[in-house]
Structure 1
Amino acid sequence: MSANTKSPEASRGFKVPFWAQIIAGLVLGVLLGWLARSQDLSWLVTTLDKIGGTFVGLLKLAVAPLVFFAILVSITNLRKVTNAARLATRTLLWFMITSLIAVAIGIVIGLVTNPGAGTGLTPKDGELPEKTGSWLDFLTGIVPTDVITPFTELNVLQIVFMAAVAGIAALQLGDKAQPILTLSESVLELLQKALWWVIRLAPLGTVGLIGRAIATYGWDLIGKYATFTADIYVGCALVLFVVYPALLAGVAKLSPVQFFKGAWPAIQLAFVSRSSVGTMPLTQKVTERLGVPREYASFAVPFGATTKMDGCAAIYPAIAAIFVAQIFDIQLGVGDYLLIAFVSVVGSAATAGLTGATVMLTLTLSTLGLPMEGVGLLLAIDPILDMMRTATNVAGQALVPVLVSAREGLLDRKAYDEAHSSPLDEPEPKQESDRVPVTA
């Protein structure tokens, strides 16, 4: 190579890291939101709302078909994995273990801090939510009455059900289903590529979403819910930066720093977008970059994006239930806390990777017999809480495949050790050479 030949990296020129773009968007959003609120600039509030709303709308546009084809393809990809049933079982087991740890942390924090005390809120401040969740609704709502409504109403749980049925049927058909599988893989890659363009807009979306939150709610609302807000952020931070690193170091003998280097772009996007499903293509990319085999990652990540919710389905409902009980002056016992843990582990699929955790909260409150009006007390503060909750969700969705791969001897430890938070690149389409069985 001659001295004048430039490396591919050098020829690309300087790139601003994705994390720096997000931070810049956060700072600019806070400044614009504060300006809009302090100067009563309605036009700026509207502009920020349109920018943030358009970004979220673009993410949601791809959610329904993305979930369907991702789940379908992920199930059929298991045919290429030796000991697929073992891997699926271990994945589900670690989902449950980490959820139990997270809900335990949430309960302890709630009991220690008493988030409902001293808020000035009363039962009269609450209102019934438009939609509530119950175990009957959860169980009967899994099965759709037709194939169109789940897509038009964005019922992710029903979409997951139909995709799982289609995937299992395709496995049973064998070679006869290959044309459908090939088409599904192509559609999935098309959707991921289109969604990648949306992900590129995340810094701009950050400006709109954060700016609108500050302009609309201001600091007064956060102050009224100060203890509750702090509890959620502290609980999520403990899971994210203490529990997960401890599992990586203790169970998998891996460097937590390397994990966060590789997974950080997905965690950042989750914080901004508040959507596990919208972040799913990036989560899968960083998981593979951390050394998880592609065939296993293509199953574990979509599965996790619709069922693995340590922030929304474990920490949040635990602290929220204690908050609501204190506002309504209701005493919770040991049995109630056990029920919270049960709902967190079994009912987490109710959140289904969308923004917000209202369904999960109503499911928890109804199981405990707490007033549904408690949900209304928390709706105003929900967008601010949801950012940290979703970041925790996505980190867990990347963590579990890494843990399982390491425990099963599948993890490419060299790739893991070399993982870094590089600027975003579009995911490479699958090559035939990638389609090899993963052995355990």
Structure 2
Amino acid sequence: MFLGMAAGLLLGFWARTLGETSALAEALRIVGEIFVQLLRALVVPLVFTAIVASIAALRDLGNAARLVAGTLIWFAITALIAVSIGLALGLLIEPGVRAGVDAATAIRPTSTGSWLDFLRGLVPSNMLGLSASTRLTDAGASTSISFNILQIIVVAIALGIAAVRVGEPGSAFLSFNASALAIFRRVLRWVVRLTPIGTAGLLGHAVVQYGWQSLSALGAFAGAVYIGLGLVLLVVYPALLRMNGLSVRRFFAAAWPAIQLGFVSRSSIATLPVTEAAVERIGVPKSYAAFAVPFAATTKMDGCAAVYPAVAALFVAQYYGIALHASDYLLIVLVSVVGSAATAGLTGALVMLTLTLSTLGLPLEGAGLLLAIDPIIDMGRTAVNVAGQALVPTIVARRQGLIVDIAATDPAAVPAAA
């Protein structure tokens, strides 16, 4: 992975000197896109079969309800810590005061977050969680098809529970599902072996497309966000691992490939299969990981839904000279803790940001000021998202006695465990 990232950086800077339309730039883009497409192609069958299998396995666990409750509680705890860090940095650094961006670049987003989106996203429009959209362009009409992962999770949970409750008639379905899951996992192993190549393509394309020039006007904002993301990833998460008797080294040794892939791909969903495999390597049982990780990938976003909207909301308020009060800060915390669920199944942090701005009554045009560097910020946001999606199942499984971290109690075993 490190070699792939290094190669991607070198090839990306080389391609920038050749031009964005050069053959090397196009090759990097195609390699990265193909790798992400391979991962996304596996997401739907893996999520569906894994959750059905987890429902079947959870029936044998007496603490299934405590596992679900513990997952939600730790979602809230980590989000609360992350948004508090974002607020503190926003007040300390004051990125909106130091911004050099032109107000003329402010554009009102075409789509905004809504508290009703969560309820809409929960109800499947069809059994496949499939949706299609058509966009009219100068070249004609283009139709794209996508899967709503949250709806797939709901369908899988419903079918899994039904298969368990019907008894013997459902055993054949559960057996077929288990076989399909094993097959998809083997295909996943083949795709994961391509990760260094995919990383080189994704990171190289990001360097070609975005570079770092846009950071100059919004340097204070970008710095505040990345400082917050770094504190969450490198300080808060290790502290929580230690508090729960878990080895920091073992966790990051297993989760780092998923974190890296999240950074370069900018997609928690595309990284989901790698994240789930990482959690299982740490020692989390498959029956719980298969439920917790897909659920976290759609609703657990400490980067996109906590640190980023907190700093961004303060940026917009400071830029427009709007004073915020204690009640406004509490609203930011509330939106960050529960808002990621309200935007589940939707795209990117922009929806979460507009949800925060609209709740506070701040100008939605302020979101347009930040779009120039959003892809660069999104890399760090997604990396923290993925780390949190691996952290919470690990902590919950540890607290429920489902894993015993040898490395945490036997220092001599650390190298072997890692």
Q: TM (normalized to structure 2)? A: 0.86
The answer to whether the Cα contact below 8 Å between 2:101 and 2:218 also exists between their aligned partners in 1 is no
Alignment pair present for 1:391 and 2:383: yes
Cα distance in 2, alignment partners of residues 420 and 306 from structure 1: 33
> How far apart are 1:350 and its partner, in Å?
4.9
The answer to whether the Cα contact below 8 Å between 1:291 and 1:415 also exists between their aligned partners in 2 is no
Q: Which residue number corresponds to residue 77 of structure 2?
A: 97
Q: Which residue number corresponds to residue 53 of structure 1?
A: 33
Equivalent runs, 1:355-394 vs 2, <5 Å: 356-394=348-386
> How far apart are 1:267 and its partner, in Å?
2.1
Equivalent runs, 1:204-353 vs 2, <5 Å: 204-250=197-243, 252-350=244-342, 352=344
Post-superposition Cα deviations, 1:80-124, rounded to whole Å, max 9, x if no partner, equal 212211121112111111111111111111111112223222442
The answer to whether the Cα contact below 8 Å between 1:76 and 1:171 also exists between their aligned partners in 2 is yes
Alignment pair present for 1:23 and 2:15: no
> How far apart are 1:41 and its partner, in Å?
5.3
* Corresponding residue to 1:194 among 159, 163, 187: 187
Cα distance in 2, alignment partners of residues 352 and 210 from structure 1: 26
Cα distance in 1, alignment partners of residues 416 and 362 from structure 2: 44
Q: Which residue number corresponds to residue 203 of structure 1?
A: 196
Cα distance in 1, alignment partners of residues 120 and 97 from structure 2: 37
Amino acid paired to 1:332? L
Q: Which residue number corresponds to residue 127 of structure 1?
A: 107
Indicate how the Cα distance of structure 1 residues 182 and 413 shifts in structure 2: closer, same or farther if over 3 A, else same: same
The answer to whether the Cα contact below 8 Å between 2:43 and 2:272 also exists between their aligned partners in 1 is no
Cα distance in 2, alignment partners of residues 298 and 341 from structure 1: 29
Cα distance in 1, alignment partners of residues 288 and 150 from structure 2: 22
The answer to whether the Cα contact below 8 Å between 2:272 and 2:293 also exists between their aligned partners in 1 is yes
Equivalent runs, 1:133-148 vs 2, <5 Å: 133-148=113-128
Indicate how the Cα distance of structure 1 residues 63 and 241 shifts in structure 2: closer, same or farther if over 3 A, else same: same
> SS at the partner of 1:238?
helix
Cα distance in 1, alignment partners of residues 81 and 343 from structure 2: 18
> SS at the partner of 1:380?
helix
The answer to whether the Cα contact below 8 Å between 2:153 and 2:295 also exists between their aligned partners in 1 is no
The answer to whether the Cα contact below 8 Å between 2:47 and 2:290 also exists between their aligned partners in 1 is no
> SS at the partner of 1:46?
helix
Cα distance in 2, alignment partners of residues 334 and 95 from structure 1: 24
> How far apart are 1:243 and its partner, in Å?
1.0
Cα distance in 2, alignment partners of residues 142 and 255 from structure 1: 36
> How far apart are 1:49 and its partner, in Å?
1.9
Post-superposition Cα deviations, 1:246-265, rounded to whole Å, max 9, x if no partner, equal 11222x12332232223222
Cα distance in 2, alignment partners of residues 336 and 317 from structure 1: 13
The answer to whether the Cα contact below 8 Å between 1:312 and 1:393 also exists between their aligned partners in 2 is yes
Cα distance in 2, alignment partners of residues 354 and 389 from structure 1: 16
* Corresponding residue to 1:76 among 32, 56, 64: 56
Post-superposition Cα deviations, 1:282-329, rounded to whole Å, max 9, x if no partner, equal 323332322323333333222222222111211111112222223333
* Corresponding residue to 1:400 among 389, 392, 396: 392
Amino acid paired to 1:66? L
> SS at the partner of 2:59?
helix
The answer to whether the Cα contact below 8 Å between 2:71 and 2:396 also exists between their aligned partners in 1 is yes
Indicate how the Cα distance of structure 1 residues 185 and 367 shifts in structure 2: closer, same or farther if over 3 A, else same: farther
Cα distance in 2, alignment partners of residues 340 and 76 from structure 1: 39
Larger mean Cα displacement after TM superposition, 330-339 or 238-247: 330-339
> SS at the partner of 1:153?
strand
> How far apart are 1:351 and its partner, in Å?
5.4
Amino acid paired to 2:203? I
RMSD, matched Cα: 2.6
> How far apart are 1:420 and its partner, in Å?
6.2
Larger mean Cα displacement after TM superposition, 97-106 or 286-295: 286-295
Q: Which residue number corresponds to residue 65 of structure 1?
A: 45
Equivalent runs, 1:165-204 vs 2, <5 Å: 165-204=158-197
Cα distance in 2, alignment partners of residues 190 and 351 from structure 1: 32
> SS at the partner of 2:76?
helix
Equivalent pairs: percent with the same residue?
A: 54
> SS at the partner of 1:141?
helix
> SS at the partner of 1:119?
coil
Amino acid paired to 1:68? F
> How far apart are 1:134 and its partner, in Å?
0.8
